[in-house]
Amino acid sequence: MTTIGFIGLGIMGTPMAGHLIQHGHRLFACTRGAVPAELVDAGATVCATSAEVARQADVIFIMVPDTPQVEEVLFAEDGVAAGLSAGKVVVDMSSISPVATKDFARRIRELGCDYLDAPVSGGEVGAKAGTLTIMVGGSEAAFDRVRPLFQLMGKNITLVGGNGDGQVTKVANQIIVALTIEAVGEALLLAAKAGADPARVREALMGGFASSRILEVHGERMIKRSFAPGFRIDLHRKDLNLALTTARQLGVALPNTATAQELFNTCAAHEGGGWDHSAMVRALEIMANFTIGQEA
């Protein structure tokens, strides 16, 4: 049994922490609001501060929205760093800046602890099912130590490289997802506007080289107008902002990523920041003055 700390118990963190408790690990928890009753009932110990979590646990997981929140959790007066002692491992599973991650990792290592950046893909569904993809940056020794815990939360777990490389991989993932959503949206919109049945077009494309998980899942969402969030547009906008900011820092042009971000911004301007990211197609529909499923 490993003594675990978990900070950040939102729609992702709660089920992830739940898997750890279910497999017999002792868990110390802290979050911005109240620790969910389901975790307390399962045996989680509620801590008042991140420092208290770090004092109690050997491995401390963090799952919060963005870079400023991770920095606060780590380095505030009552943050994780204040409660660490040598030999512990801090694992940030949030999706944040790769550049900031390198600095955070350096500061934690100076305290005699290991640091892993381990962002995830798979959304709320994957968190609940324990099937997340986990992209890890850090030392091989720290990865080997934490891997049995990762395996309780995910299925595709890869040590990509050093600190920051996990976050770079997540940024790359979000670029591919956004651009594929955009491509599927354009294709189905064109087909529908031309008078074809978009559901049958999607079915035909699923058997060819254009087949993808996004065409399968999000293409169906577009056709059925099912935009209840699995992954909210506002969160994807945050991730693409990380991609574009990192690209500027590195002197890399990402023109199509910038376009996808503007389409998400259009949705947000129409009060769609809380829609599922498949609803990017709504921005395309607004420009075309045509909705998929509507008669040509």
Cα–Cα distance measured from residue 68 to residue 65, given in angstroms and rounded to the nearest whole number: 9
The single-letter code of the amino acid at 197 is D
Q: Quickly list DSSP for 62-84.
A: E--SSHHHHHHHHHSTTSHHHH-
Cα–Cα distance measured from residue 181 to residue 176, given in angstroms and rounded to the nearest whole number: 9
Cα–Cα distance measured from residue 188 to residue 129, given in angstroms and rounded to the nearest whole number: 30
How many CB atoms lie under 10 A from the CB of residue 238? Answer: 17
Q: Are 180 and 212 in contact (CB under 8 A)?
A: yes
Q: Which residues contact 235 (CB under 8 A, 6 or more apart)?
A: 65, 277
Q: Are 263 and 283 in contact (CB under 8 A)?
A: yes
Cα–Cα distance measured from residue 254 to residue 169, given in angstroms and rounded to the nearest whole number: 15
Instruction: Please identify which of the residues 88, 128, 155, 170 carries the catalytic annotation.
Output: 170
Cα–Cα distance measured from residue 81 to residue 193, given in angstroms and rounded to the nearest whole number: 56
Our answer to whether residue 224 is catalytic in this structure is no
Give the residue among 177, 202, 174, 175 at the shortest CA–CA distance from 188. Answer: 202
Q: Are 70 and 93 in contact (CB under 8 A)?
A: no
DSSP annotation of 197: -
Cα–Cα distance measured from residue 74 to residue 80, given in angstroms and rounded to the nearest whole number: 5
Active site residues: 170
